[in-house]
């Protein structure tokens, strides 16, 4: 998504909690000067506030927030794709870490950028979610519940921001995607069935366009979701 946005002309700040080398690799792949890497832990309110301040200083006002930072089932078990971990077997600290990142993190960041968006009369908050089948899949605590909470927040925040020019929507790829959340040990036959992350770019760009000014509080399944919304 960061590469897609940068190639479309947007200046993008990308974050990771620890791995700066990974961020810098993305920045090198993007058009020169379009991607600004920052180490920041979304689960920490102080990090989120400092991040927004740094981005505003380096790039200008934040017009779009994409809440994509997340911690998934690999933190529970590397075998989560084939051997479910029952909720009572999940380590409590792992549960807190996933919830803090996937639920509190989007709140901290949205809270930090929303006043500026309201004052400018325009803004986009896009929360990255997951399909309902995966959300409810056996053994997918706490990742599934964290995304269910984020989708509820999406609907509530959209209502809170009605009439301000700031929209809030959830965007999901429509299935399991080939990202860093997938363990290396996943069999090739299963890996071939995974969606490529690039499916997110067209709907993301559309949500950021004027065509989506009236779209808020929606759950958009890429790429069919755009077609369905336009059809309505």
H/E stretch holding 56 reads helix 45-59
Q: Which token pair is 114?
A: 């929303």
Q: Could you give the C-alpha distances from 216 to 93, 138, 162, 188, in angstroms and in order?
A: 34, 31, 8, 38
Our measurement of the distance from residue 70's CA atom to the centroid of its chain's CA atoms, rounded to an integer in Å, reads: 7
Q: Centre a 10 Å sphere on the Cβ of residue 83 and count the other Cβ atoms it contains.
A: 9
Q: Could you give the C-alpha distances from 165 to 10, 17, 19, 52, 123, in angstroms and in order?
A: 20, 31, 35, 20, 6
Q: Could you give the C-alpha distances from 98 to 35, 43, 128, in angstroms and in order?
A: 26, 9, 15
What residues are labeled active site?
A: 143
H/E stretch holding 49 reads helix 45-59
């Amino acid at each position: 998504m960061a590469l897609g946005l940068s190639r479309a002309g947007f200046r993008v700040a990308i974050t990771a909690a620890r791995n700066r080398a990974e961020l810098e690799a993305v920045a090198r792949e993007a058009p020169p000067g379009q991607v600004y890497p920052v180490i920041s832990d979304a689960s920490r309110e102080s990090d989120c506030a400092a991040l927004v301040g740094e981005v505003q200083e380096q790039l200008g006002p934040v017009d779009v927030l994409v809440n994509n930072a997340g911690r998934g089932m690999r933190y529970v078990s590397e075998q989560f794709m084939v051997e479910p971990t029952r909720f009572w077997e999940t380590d409590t600290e792992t549960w807190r870490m996933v919830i803090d990142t996937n639920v509190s993190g989007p709140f901290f960041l949205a809270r930090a950028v929303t006043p500026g968006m309201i004052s400018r009369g325009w803004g986009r908050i896009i929360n990255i979610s997951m399909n309902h089948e995966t959300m409810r899949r056996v053994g997918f605590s706490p990742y599934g519940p964290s995304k269910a909470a984020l989708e509820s927040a999406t609907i509530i925040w959209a209502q809170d921001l009605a009439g301000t020019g700031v929209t809030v929507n959830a965007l999901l790829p429509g299935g399991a995607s080939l990202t860093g959340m997938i363990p290396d040990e996943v069999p090739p036959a299963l890996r071939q069935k995974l969606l490529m992350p690039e499916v997110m770019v067209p709907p993301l760009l559309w949500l950021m366009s004027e065509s989506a000014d009236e779209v808020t509080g929606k759950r958009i399944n890429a790429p069919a979701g755009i077609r369905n919304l336009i059809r309505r």
